[in-house]
Amino acid sequence: MPHPQIVVPGNHDVPLHNLYVRLTGGLDKYRRYISDDLQPAFQDDEVAIVGLNTARSLVWKGGRISYSQIRHVEEVMGSTPRHVTRILVTHHPFDLPDEYGPNHLVGRAHKAMARFARCGIDLFLAGHFHVSHCGHTAERYQLGRYSAIFVQAGTACSTRWRGEPNTFNVIRAESGRISIVRMLSDETGPFHAGTPDVFVCSENGWART
């Protein structure tokens, strides 16, 4: 795939059945074959992106964000110019559709979101549940006028469907406007574009048009 890339580990990158390896070197194979950088970042004149590792050896499926990771995001995003679109990438989500409860979110989500609101993060990207969705955070988090966009990625190449075909998202960001296009494919056909979701930014944060 083309570079630059922001790649983060998930819970399936931590061994499940080999408890010794899970506790002593849970992400060793990820570091060897994928990336040794568990906090990748990229920034240019248009976007600032931070990736975080939310996978944990002591948790079988869920994930957590640490206080040091929250401070890291604050340090990077706090020095980013306001016109730059600020994006956070994790495997475990900070927000989900209404049918998912708080126990499905990444650990410490509410504490982190209160601080990320001050950073002005625009876009949260996550996966984990293999179901694609997007919305804005004001429906779950009451943080004044702050409202960001959360985008949940489906599964791009799997035979274990979760009620939808294989998908991936194409996101286009420009000043005050972000569009998310879900690309879909069945088992035999090529990927094709679905109807875009478009969000615009106002003094009350991001909202769907």
| CATH number for the domain harbouring residue 109 | 3.60.21.10
What confidence tens digit (pLDDT) does each residue in 51-68 have? 999 988 766 678 999 999
d(CA 94, CA 209): 22
* Torsion 57-62-68-69 (CA) sign: positive
Residue 168 lies in a domain: no
At 60 the pLDDT is 64
Residue 133 lies in a domain: yes
Among 143, 192, 203, residue whose Cα is nearest residue 170 = 192
Residue 98 lies in a domain: yes
Residue 192 lies in a domain: no
- Strand 197-202 and strand 205-208: pairing? antiparallel
- Point out the residues of the chain with pLDDT beneath 50: none
Cβ-based burial of 100 (10 A; exposed 0-12, middle 13-18, buried ≥19)? middle
Residue 5 lies in a domain: no
The whole-model pTM stands at 0.91
Phi (first) and psi of residue 111, to 5 degrees: -65, -40
Residue 4 lies in a domain: no
Residue 6 lies in a domain: no
Domain that holds residue 99: 11-159
Q: Please state the domain count of the chain.
A: 1
d(CA 135, CA 166): 20
Which amino acid makes up residue 136? H
Residue 100 lies in a domain: yes
At 18 the pLDDT is 62
Residue 127, classed as helix, strand or coil, is coil
